[in-house]
Every structure is written in structure tokens, then in C-alpha cells.
């Protein structure tokens, strides 16, 4: 839509999936609103507006009519101190609620058992009881009325009918207790969603709000919104980087755990790429900004995690649809109970005990907990539906270069001949390759640097494209290159190295062969153990897809014990993905996120390696590994299966609880007062069960680090 504009609104007052649907419908009712996505975790709505004349006032009014509000101002992040205070306040509210809940239940149960409750309530005039009900339930009744005017039914609609039924038969004390537990239920739901929400919002709090710019030789501190691409930012020890960019001066140890999940810091100096929200330690830096604000890697991570709710799992969509039918069914059941038993209080108990919010919360709470915890561990998951798909996956396809391997050639073998030792042969070859720009030459020079070998300055140098180099060193003509530059040599050693897919460099002096160097794109050290864990998790079909030659692919696949297909073009990889999908298989593909982007997008779940700073990876893949660490791949499968296990437990618990509660209420065995108390408890059960995923994310991160240390 070329004539549309995007607007973001913060929404206050949402505490369940049902709330997001109400806000979405309200916003879509405003003329000129093309699309509206409402996110519970980030408490905001993202709108596409078709006309410029759609103003904020109309949108605010629509949200207010739905029973929610749009805050006047809001920053992109909050201080950790207020967050800590809010978390402490939540704990106090829960403790206080538990104490009051226990006291009220004791008074109600014991009072009714001893017959004291009727004596106490008999002393209070009915109009006073009515005022107590209206005062305590006014916010809820107001929202229910607004929803009714919009032809919407909410869980509070049913409980409000229960209050009306209790009042109609003169049971104002019962109505007061129902209202009390309605408010308690609201607090419980807010706390439940807030706990999972903080896993996501805690990421945004890590971003710095100001930056120190270098202007005319002086340092000026400005709000982050005023920083522009090309500005030079000064970062002192202990400060967080406010931008993505390249270091132009300075030296520091940088903790990039916020971006990559990697616990070990990295050394940054001139020419190094650094990322916003990373922490500078033991040094200061001057960084030229390449991406600022929401365009930084950290900003994109925040946006994608926030919007992950838009990609709902099938099980979540089922729960959402079920909730839409559940409320009318409960209302019908209550009406049937009233017709058969002619007892308004029994019908009220049926209305009150229904827990539709717990059904709606069962899936998103678990998904939010997993996605937020995974982001802190280096796994960026773009939506709950991808977690669900990974849990169902039975095929893993893997790219080779840059995915299984490091993506750059390294020297693997040094075979001296003609009286030289390994150090002498490597020093000779590195000196000859000193001015070559070929990647294989850099691999030779890097190996020499790692061994601290001195390099002789060549008196003459000649590069032979496609063949190698000639150089004059110590009065001798040194040649490094393919076998075509020297006399052919055949031996079991050469044949064995070539069978492994390695590239051979022949080193000669004055036309005589002096030794052989083997260069290869080496396998990531953690890959074999990671693939073994993937197999243990039940993924039996693992296949290597590569554009490399048959010989190199066969050697690598043989070492890893996987199937392979070689000499593939990008469109052929897509065809293989579709081939498995046509068989009804769920395909996960891991690639480097650049040349594999089409296949990653075609797969049921595409996983991009090393996505920090890679736009293509973040956009094309459904899951991004924010560091090049294969131990995150089995961690993804484990997390997905644990998450779906928690979701199924949440749904099963909620279904059984609701069925039992409705049955007892319809049979007259659960009075309205206890029904009101019972309806708020499933949310706490869902929170307790889903909280295991928050702990699991941190455990997963420690396990990953431990694996690398082994």
C-alpha cells in the first residue's frame, strides 16, 4: 500500500489474549485503518493507516470505547529501578491478595457453616450492600457495558450476570464476594501476563537512552533520537554502546551477550564492528555510527521479538477460536440450569466459575516466556507458530559453507619434502604469498602468523591468476600454486588429501617440489556433538545440501554420518525442500542466511546462522542464531518441545478444571462464592507451569557455554 503510513500506539490495560482481540476490533472500526496488529507482550498496536486524516484522537477514542487507554507519552525503555520497584510491588500485591483471599474464604466458609454470615448480613440494609457491589465493581461493570454496546461478550460479562442474579434474589453478600474475586482475578491475570511480558520488555530496558557525540573536537551528550548515521560516538569504560558501527579509534573489551548471548567478551579496536546495547569494558572507543535507533541490530531484535505474537501457533489459534464459542456455550448452560433447577444462584455459579481467560492465556503465556528467554540466550524466534513447527519437525536440511564449516579456508596439513621441516616450508610459502590477495594465500599467511614465523621480503613477486604465484626469495625462484605450475606428482598422500575435498598448494624452489600444503574450509568443532544431540531428539533424516563438489560433500557427510546432495544451485535446494514438504514432512533448514535465503524462506522453519548484523538473515529466516554456535540448534529443538509440552499441560489443566468447575456448579455443589474464588486460580497454575520455560532459557544458556568449554 503505497499511500499508507505506519503508526504505533501503546495500549494500557490489556491482560489477556481476549483483550488484544477487543482492541484490534475497536481500531479496525475506525475509518482509514487498513490493518491492526495488537501485541500483549509489548502492550502496543501497530497500525497501517490508509488516509492521512486519521488522527490520534480518533484512535484513542476507539481504544477507550473498548475499555482500554492510550498513554500520553511513553519511552522505548524503562529504568531498571522502576522495573524492580514494579516487580517488588507485584510480589506484595500477590502476597496481600493471598492473605485477603484466605481470610475471606475462612469467614465465608466458617460463617456459612456456623450460620453467622446471615446474621451479619441481616444487620446491613440491602441498599448499602448494593452500593458496596457498585463501588467495588464499577470499573468492571463499565467495561462490560461498553462491550455489550459493541455486541461483545467477555468473561466479565458472565460474572456480571452472576452478580445480577445474586442481587435479584437479595444475596448482596454473595454479589460482594463475587465482585471481590473478579478484582482478584484481574490482579492475578495482570501479574501472570506481566511476568511473561517482562521477559520481552526486559530486553528493551538494556538499550541506552543517550549518546556522547564527538562534535568539533568536543564531547556532547544528546538523546539517542538525535544520533544520525555517520556521527562519531564516544563510549567510555563501563558504558553501553548506543549505536551499531565501526570502531575508528580506541581499544576495549566488549561484552556482546545482549546481542549474541555469548558470555565471553571480545576485543574491539579500529576496524572492528560493534553493536548497540553491548557493554564496553577495560577501555574506551570511538565508533562511527552505521545504524541508529530501531535500525540497529538490537533494535531489530526488539521489534521482531515484540511482533512474534503476530505469528501465532496453530494451537494458539485453536484456543482463540475456542474462546469465542466457549462464552456463549457457558451462557447457554447457565440458562439451561436455571430452566431445569429454577435456582438463580446455581445459574449464577455456572456463570461465575467459567474461566475463559485461562484458556486464552494457556498458549501465549508459554510462548512469550520461551521467546523472551530464548532471545537472551542467542536464539531469535519470530513467532509461536515456528516453535510449534520445530517441535513437530522430522527433517533437518543443512547448508555446508558458512554453516557446518567456518566459511573461510584454513591450513590443515603441511607436508615438507626435499629436506625442509614444517616450519621452514610454511615460512617459505607465506613469504612467497606475502602480496597475494587470494583467500588461500591469506590462509597460509594466517597459519604462519599463528606460529610466529618470520616472513622474508620477496625481491620479486608475480601473481598468476588461477594458478598461483612466483616470487624471488633469497636468490631462488619460489613457486606456490596448483599442480600445473610444477611437475605432476602422484602419491597416496596426495590422493588421500584430495579425497577429503581439500585444496592442495604445491611449493617448489627452482622448479623442484619442496612440499605440499593442504587448505580446507574446516568443520566447526561443535558440529558433531550438536548433530548427535539432534538425533537423540528424534530427528532421523538429516541431509547436507551444498553447491560444493561431490568429493568434498561426500567426505564431510561421511564424517558426520548424514546424507548429502552436492553441486546444487539455490533453486535446486528449494526443490528439495518442496520434495520433503510434498511428502507431508516438516522441514527445518539451517543456512547462513545469505545465499540460502530462498530455501530458508521455503522451509517450514528456516534457521539463519550468525544473524548479528545480517539484514538478509533476520528477514528471510524464521529463527536466527545470534552467534555462530551450533550448540544452539539442538537447544532450539529442546526448547520447542518443552514449550509445546507446557502448552499442552496448560490446556489440559484448564480444560479439566473448567469441566469440573462447571459440573459442580451446575449440580448445585459449588455455591457462587466458592465459584468466584475458584475462577481466579487457573491463571496462577498457568503462570507456575509456564515459568519453568523462563528458567529453562537461562539453563540452556549455561549449558551452551559449558559445552563450548569442553
- Taking only the tens place, the pLDDT of each residue in 276-293 is 888 888 788 999 999 998
Closest of 198, 132, 149, 185 to residue 26, by C-alpha: 149
Q: Which pLDDT band, with edges at 50, 70 and 90, does 581 fall under?
A: very high
State the cell numbers at 207. Answer: 538499550
* pLDDT at residue 597 is higher than 50: yes
pLDDT, tens digit (0-9, with 9 covering 90-100), for 632-648 = 999 999 999 999 999 88
Q: CA–CA separation, 564 vs 556, rounded Å?
A: 9
Averaged pLDDT for residues 384-411: 87
User: 3-state DSSP call for residue 27?
Assistant: helix
Q: What is the pLDDT of residue 230?
A: 92
Note the CATH architecture for domain 5-65. 2-Layer Sandwich (3.30)
Distance of CA 195 to the CA centre of its chain: 16
Averaged pLDDT for residues 447-458: 91
Averaged pLDDT for residues 112-125: 58
Q: What is the pLDDT of residue 42?
A: 65
Q: What is the pLDDT of residue 675?
A: 78
Q: What is the pLDDT of residue 103?
A: 53
* pLDDT at residue 349 is higher than 90: no
pLDDT, tens digit (0-9, with 9 covering 90-100), for 534-545 = 999 999 899 999
Q: What is the pLDDT of residue 654?
A: 86
Per the model's pLDDT, the better-predicted residue between 252 and 312 turns out to be 252
Q: What is the pLDDT of residue 704?
A: 38
Averaged pLDDT for residues 27-36: 87
Per the model's pLDDT, the better-predicted residue between 181 and 693 turns out to be 693
Q: What is the pLDDT of residue 409?
A: 84
* pLDDT at residue 19 is higher than 90: no
* pLDDT at residue 710 is higher than 50: no
Q: Is 399 noted as a catalytic residue in this protein? A: yes
C-alpha distances (whole Å) from 674 to each of 16, 140, 141, 178, 277 are: 23, 20, 21, 9, 49
Q: What DSSP letter does each residue of 451-505 carry, written as one string?
A: TT---PPPSEEEEETTTEEEEEETTEEEEEE-GGGS-----HHHHHHHHTTPEEE
Per the model's pLDDT, the better-predicted residue between 21 and 357 turns out to be 21
* pLDDT at residue 62 is higher than 80: yes
Averaged pLDDT for residues 348-357: 76
Instruction: Of 284-293, 313-322, 471-480, give the lowest mean pLDDT range.
Output: 313-322
Q: Which pLDDT band, with edges at 50, 70 and 90, does 701 fall under?
A: very low
- Which residue's entry shows cell 572507543? 285
Q: Which pLDDT band, with edges at 50, 70 and 90, does 85 fall under?
A: very low
Q: Which helix (H) or strand (E) holds 213?
A: strand 210-215
Instruction: Of 17-31, 82-96, 442-456, 658-672, give the lowest mean pLDDT range.
Output: 82-96
Distance of CA 652 to the CA centre of its chain: 25
Q: What angle do CA 295, 297, 298 make, to 5 degrees?
A: 100
Instruction: Of 304-313, 366-375, 451-460, give the lowest mean pLDDT range.
Output: 304-313
Averaged pLDDT for residues 512-531: 90
User: 3-state DSSP call for residue 165?
Assistant: helix
Q: Which pLDDT band, with edges at 50, 70 and 90, does 235 fall under?
A: very high
Instruction: Of 180-184, 195-199, 516-520, give the lowest mean pLDDT range.
Output: 195-199
Closest of 576, 442, 449, 420 to residue 508, by C-alpha: 420
Note the CATH architecture for domain 406-523. 3-Layer(aba) Sandwich (3.40)
Q: What is the pLDDT of residue 200?
A: 55
Neighbouring C-beta atoms of residue 553, cutoff 10 Å: 21
Helices 672-679/172-204 angle, 10° precision:
0
Q: pLDDT above 70 covers what percent of the chain?
A: 77
296 contact partners, CB below 8 Å, separation of at least 6: 243, 244, 275, 276, 277
Residues of the chain with CATH 2.70.150.10: 228-291
Per the model's pLDDT, the better-predicted residue between 404 and 548 turns out to be 404
Q: Report the mean per-residue pLDDT for the chain.
A: 78
Q: What is the pLDDT of residue 450?
A: 92
Q: What DSSP letter does each residue of 597-641 carry, written as one string?
A: HHHHHHSSEEEESS-TT-HHHHHH-SEEESSS-TTHHHHHHHHHH
Per the model's pLDDT, the better-predicted residue between 674 and 662 turns out to be 662
Q: CA–CA separation, 508 vs 527, rounded Å?
A: 36
Q: CA–CA separation, 702 vs 530, rounded Å?
A: 15
Q: What is the pLDDT of residue 191?
A: 62
Q: Which helix (H) or strand (E) holds 407?
A: strand 405-416
Q: What is the pLDDT of residue 264?
A: 60
- List, in sequence order, the alpha helices (H) in 215-355: 257-260, 297-306, 314-341, 344-353
Secondary structure in 3-state letters for 505-560: EEEEECCEEEEEEEEEEEECCCHHHHHHHHHHCCCCEEEEECCCCHHHHHHHHHHH
Q: Which range scores top for mean pLDDT: 258-262, 331-335, 611-615? A: 331-335
Residues of the chain with CATH 3.30.70.100: 5-65
Per the model's pLDDT, the better-predicted residue between 622 and 178 turns out to be 622
pLDDT, tens digit (0-9, with 9 covering 90-100), for 155-177 = 677 778 778 877 777 777 777 77
Q: What is the pLDDT of residue 155?
A: 65
User: 3-state DSSP call for residue 323?
Assistant: helix
* pLDDT at residue 11 is higher than 60: yes
C-alpha distances (whole Å) from 12 to each of 65, 90, 156 are: 13, 17, 18
The correct answer on CATH 3.40.640.10 for the domain covering 228-291 is: no
Instruction: Of 104-113, 382-391, 607-616, give the lowest mean pLDDT range.
Output: 104-113
Instruction: Enter the DSSP assignment of 33.
Output: E
Q: Which helix (H) or strand (E) holds 182?
A: helix 172-204
Question: Of the residues 15, 186, 255, 399, which is catalytic?
Answer: 399
Averaged pLDDT for residues 498-503: 79
Averaged pLDDT for residues 603-618: 72
Per the model's pLDDT, the better-predicted residue between 231 and 4 turns out to be 231
* pLDDT at residue 445 is higher than 90: yes
295 contact partners, CB below 8 Å, separation of at least 6: 244
Q: Which range scores top for mean pLDDT: 135-149, 282-296, 316-330? A: 282-296
Q: What is the pLDDT of residue 17?
A: 62
Q: CA–CA separation, 206 vs 304, rounded Å?
A: 16
* pLDDT at residue 312 is higher than 60: no
* pLDDT at residue 139 is higher than 50: yes
Closest of 295, 296, 275 to residue 285, by C-alpha: 275
Q: Which range scores top for mean pLDDT: 77-91, 534-548, 588-602? A: 534-548
Q: What is the pLDDT of residue 507?
A: 94
Amino acid at each position: 500500500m503505497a499511500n499508507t503510513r505506519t503508526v504505533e500506539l501503546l495500549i494500557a490495560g490489556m491482560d489477556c489474549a481476549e483483550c488484544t482481540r477487543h482492541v484490534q476490533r475497536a481500531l479496525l472500526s475506525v475509518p482509514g485503518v487498513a490493518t491492526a496488529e495488537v501485541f500483549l507482550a509489548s502492550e502496543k498496536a501497530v497500525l497501517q493507516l490508509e488516509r492521512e486524516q486519521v488522527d490520534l484522537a480518533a484512535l484513542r477514542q476507539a481504544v477507550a470505547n473498548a475499555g482500554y487507554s492510550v498513554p500520553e507519552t511513553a519511552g522505548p525503555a524503562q529504568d531498571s529501578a522502576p522495573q524492580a520497584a514494579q516487580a517488588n510491588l507485584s510480589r506484595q500485591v500477590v502476597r496481600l491478595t493471598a492473605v485477603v483471599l484466605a481470610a475471606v474464604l475462612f469467614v465465608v466458609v466458617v460463617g456459612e457453616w456456623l450460620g453467622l454470615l446471615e446474621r451479619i448480613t441481616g444487620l446491613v440494609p440491602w441498599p448499602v450492600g448494593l452500593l458496596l457491589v457498585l463501588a467495588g465493581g464499577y470499573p468492571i461493570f463499565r467495561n462490560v457495558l461498553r462491550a455489550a454496546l459493541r455486541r461483545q461478550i467477555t468473561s466479565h460479562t458472565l460474572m456480571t450476570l452472576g452478580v445480577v442474579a445474586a442481587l435479584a434474589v437479595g444475596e448482596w453478600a454473595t454479589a460482594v464476594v463475587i465482585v471481590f474475586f473478579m478484582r482478584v482475578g484481574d490482579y492475578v491475570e495482570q501479574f501472570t501476563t506481566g511476568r511473561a511480558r517482562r521477559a520481552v520488555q526486559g530486553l528493551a530496558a538494556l538499550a541506552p537512552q543517550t549518546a556522547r557525540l564527538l562534535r568539533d573536537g568536543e564531547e556532547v551528550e544528546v538523546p539517542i533520537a538525535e544520533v544520525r548515521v555517520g556521527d562519531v560516538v564516544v563510549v567510555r569504560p563501563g558504558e553501553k554502546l548506543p549505536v551499531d558501527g565501526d570502531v575508528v579509534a580506541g581499544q576495549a573489551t566488549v561484552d556482546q551477550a545482549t546481542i549474541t548471548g555469548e558470555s565471553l567478551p571480545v576485543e574491539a579496536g579500529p576496524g572492528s564492528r560493534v553493536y548497540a546495547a553491548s557493554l564496553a569494558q577495560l577501555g574506551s572507543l570511538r565508533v562511527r555510527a552505521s545504524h541508529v535507533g530501531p535500525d540497529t541490530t538490537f533494535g531489530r531484535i526488539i521489534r521482531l521479538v515484540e511482533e512474534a505474537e503476530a505469528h501465532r501457533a496453530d494451537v494458539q489459534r485453536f484456543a482463540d477460536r475456542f474462546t469465542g464459542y466457549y462464552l456463549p456455550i457457558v451462557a447457554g448452560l447457565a440458562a439451561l440450569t436455571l430452566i431445569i433447577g429454577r435456582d438463580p444462584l446455581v445459574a449464577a455459579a455456572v456463570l461465575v466459575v467459567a474461566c475463559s481467560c485461562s484458556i486464552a492465556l494457556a498458549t501465549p503465556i508459554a510462548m512469550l516466556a520461551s521467546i523472551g528467554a530464548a532471545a537472551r540466550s542467542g536464539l531469535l524466534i519470530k513467532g509461536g507458530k515456528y516453535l510449534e513447527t520445530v517441535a513437530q519437525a522430522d527433517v533437518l536440511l543443512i547448508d555446508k559453507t558458512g554453516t557446518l564449516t567456518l566459511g573461510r579456508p584454513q591450513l590443515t596439513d603441511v607436508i615438507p619434502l626435499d629436506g625442509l621441516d614444517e616450519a621452514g616450508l610454511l615460512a617459505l610459502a607465506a613469504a612467497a604469498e606475502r602480496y597475494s590477495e587470494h583467500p588461500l594465500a591469506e590462509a597460509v599467511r594466517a597459519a604462519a602468523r599463528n606460529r610466529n614465523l618470520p616472513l622474508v621480503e620477496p625481491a620479486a613477486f608475480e601473481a598468476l591468476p588461477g594458478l598461483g604465484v612466483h616470487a624471488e626469495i633469497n636468490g631462488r625462484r619460489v613457486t606456490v600454486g596448483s599442480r600445473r605450475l610444477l611437475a605432476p606428482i602422484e602419491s597416496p598422500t596426495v590422493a588421500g588429501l584430495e579425497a577429503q575435498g581439500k585444496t592442495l598448494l604445491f611449493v617448489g624452489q627452482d622448479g623442484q617440489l619442496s612440499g605440499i600444503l593442504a587448505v580446507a574450509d574446516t568443520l566447526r568443532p561443535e558440529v558433531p556433538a550438536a548433530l548427535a544431540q539432534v538425533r537423540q531428539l528424534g530427528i532421523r533424516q538429516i541431509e547436507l545440501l551444498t553447491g560444493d563438489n561431490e568429493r568434498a560433500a561426500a567426505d564431510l557427510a561421511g564424517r558426520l554420518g548424514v546424507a548429502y546432495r552436492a553441486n546444487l544451485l539455490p533453486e535446486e535446494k528449494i526443490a528439495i525442500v518442496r520434495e520433503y514438504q510434498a511428502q507431508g514432512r516438516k522441514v527445518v533448514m539451517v543456512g547462513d542466511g545469505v545465499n540460502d535465503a530462498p530455501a530458508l524462506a521455503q522451509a517450514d522453519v528456516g534457521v539463519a546462522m550468525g544473524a548479528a548484523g545480517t539484514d538478509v538473515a533476520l528477514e528471510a529466516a524464521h529463527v536466527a542464531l545470534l552467534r555462530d554456535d551450533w550448540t544452539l540448534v539442538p537447544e532450539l529443538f529442546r526448547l520447542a518441545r518443552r514449550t509445546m509440552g507446557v502448552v499442552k499441560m496448560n490446556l489440559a489443566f484448564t480444560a479439566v478444571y473448567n469441566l469440573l468447575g462447571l459440573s459442580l456448579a451446575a449440580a448445585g455443589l459449588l455455591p457462587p462464592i466458592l465459584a468466584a474464588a475458584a475462577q481466579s486460580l487457573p491463571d496462577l497454575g498457568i503462570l507456575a507451569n509456564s515459568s519453568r520455560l523462563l528458567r529453562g532459557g537461562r539453563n540452556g544458556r549455561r549449558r551452551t557455554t559449558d559445552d563450548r568449554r569442553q
